[in-house]
Amino acid sequence: MEGSDLYLDPAPSSPPPRYAGYTDGFWAMGDTITWVFGLVLMLSSFMGWYSGSGLGVSLSVIGWHTGTLGKLVFFIGLAVVVLVGSRARGFDLPGSVPESLIVLGLGALATVFVLIRVISIPDAVLPADSRGIGIWIALVASLGVIAGGLLRAAEDF
């Protein structure tokens, strides 16, 4: 059979399609940073936020069991991961809603929630009177989401 329709070019001349706002270099890391820190923020709810000992028993309290704020930190991290994942799959928000602003808002909200838990240990978790590594990881992750949102905002301009 003769025909050019059966010939497949092994090396297409055009690059694979990329989403709008993609640039090369450091500023293009906004999506990656946002996704990674959003995932860490989500998982930090299952890390030890408080630890302590009482009557010869050592205990650790995960963020999920610290009340509503611990659960909200998980869902904020999940929202960030879903937002970045949906953009990677081709679903974009309307142009009037800047995605970087949503990421910044979610990161700021998570930072406030984690700082509340850093400052105020809930009475329900006593005798766990010291802060565990998980709450510090959550704080760094929430600040990382803000940094990712700022990088994404720089991509838009």
pLDDT at res. 62: 94
First to last CA, the chain: 52
Contact, 103 vs 148, CB < 8 A? yes
Annotated domain spans of the chain: 28-45+63-156
- Tens of pLDDT along the chain (157 residues) come to 555 555 555 655 655 555 544 455 555 688 889 999 999 999 999 999 999 887 788 889 999 999 999 999 999 999 999 999 888 788 877 878 888 899 999 999 999 999 999 999 888 877 778 999 999 999 999 999 999 999 988 876 6
* Beta bridge pairs of residue 59: 52
Contact, 122 vs 150, CB < 8 A? no
Q: Give the burial string for 8-40 (b: 16+ CB within 10 Å, else e).
A: eeeeeeeeeeeeebeeeeeebebbebbbbbbbb
Rounded to an integer, what distance in angstroms lies between the CA atom of residue 32 and that of residue 54?
Answer: 42
Contact, 87 vs 103, CB < 8 A? no
Tokens of 126: 């006593």
Length of the chain: 157
**pTM for the whole thing?**
0.79
One-letter amino acid for residue 61 of the chain: V
pLDDT at res. 28: 64
